[in-house]
Structure 1
Amino acid sequence: MNPPARLLARQKTVAALVIGALLAVGVALYSTLPEQMAIHWNAAGEPDNVVSKPVAVLAMPAVVVFMSVLFELTNNDVGERIVGSLAMLLLLVVQMMAFGVNLGYDVPIVPITLALAGGMVAVAVWVETR
C-alpha cells in the first residue's frame, strides 16, 4: 500500500487531524465571521440555509466526530476506512469554502464541491476494486 493510502487507512488519525483543523480555523476566523452564516447552497449557487455563527463553526466538526464514531462501531475494511477518510477531507474543504463565502470571497462552491465529490467517488471506486 502506498504512503497516502496507508495514511488514509488510519481513519482515526485523519478524523483527529480534520477535527483539529476545522476547530483551529473556526476559532481563528470566529471574530471576522458574520453572525448569520450561509451553510448550504442550491444548484444555482445561491445560499438557501443560514445558521448562527456558533452552529456554523461547530456543526462540521460534530459531523466528523459522528462519522468517526460510526466507523469505530462498525467493522470496516481498509477500503471503507480510506473512503471514510476521503469523505472527512471533503467536509474539511467544504467548510473552508463556506468560511470563504461568508467572509465575502467569490467562491464557486457548487462546481468545486461537485468536482471534489466526483473525484472522491472515482477514488473510492478505484480503492474498492483494487
Structure 2
Amino acid sequence: MNPPAGFLARQKLVAGVVTAALLALGGALYGALPDQMAIHWNAAGQPDNVVEKPIAVLMMPAIVVFVSVLFEVTGSDVGERIVGSLAMILLFVVQLMVFGVNLGYDVPIVPVALALAGGLVAVAVWFETR
C-alpha cells in the first residue's frame, strides 16, 4: 500500500487529526466569528440556514467523531476506511470555507464544495478499483 493510502487507511488517526484541527481552528477564530453563522447555502450560493456560533464551531468535529465511531461499529474494510478518511478531510475543507464566509471572505462555496465532492468520488472510486 502506498504511503497516502496507508495513512488514509488509519481512519481513527485521520479522524483524530481532523477533529483536533477543527477544534483548534474554531477556538482560535471563535472571537472573530459572528454570533449567528451561515452553515448551508442554496444552489444560487445564498445562505439558507444559520445557527448559533457554538453549534457552528462544534457541529463538524462532532460529525467527524460520529462517522469515525460508525466505521468502528460497522467493522469496515480498508477501502471503506480510506473513503471515510477522505470524507473527513472533505468535511475539514468545508468547515474552513464556512469559517471563511462567516469572517467576511468571498468564498465561492457552492462550486468549490461541488468540485471537492466530485473529486472525493473520483478518488474513492480510484482507491476502490486498485
Q: Runs ≥4 in structure 1, deviation > 3 angstroms?
A: none
- The within-5 A match list for 1:66-105 is 66-105=66-105
Task: Say whether residues 1:3 and 2:3 are aligned partners.
Answer: yes
What residue number does 1:12 align with? 12
Q: Distance in 2 between matches of 1:103 and 1:52?
A: 14
Distance 1:98 1:86 in 2: 18
TM-score normalised by L of structure 2: 0.99
CA distance in 2, matches of 1:78, 1:59: 26
Q: CA RMSD in A?
A: 0.4
Q: Which runs of 5+ in 2 are unaligned?
A: none
The corresponding residue for 1:65 is 65
> Is there any run of 5+ residues in structure 1 with no aligned partner, and where?
none
Shift in Å at residue 75 of structure 1?
Answer: 1.5
Counterpart of 2:59, as a letter, is: A
Q: Identify the range of structure 1 (24-33 vs 74-83) with the bigger mean alpha-carbon deviation.
A: 74-83
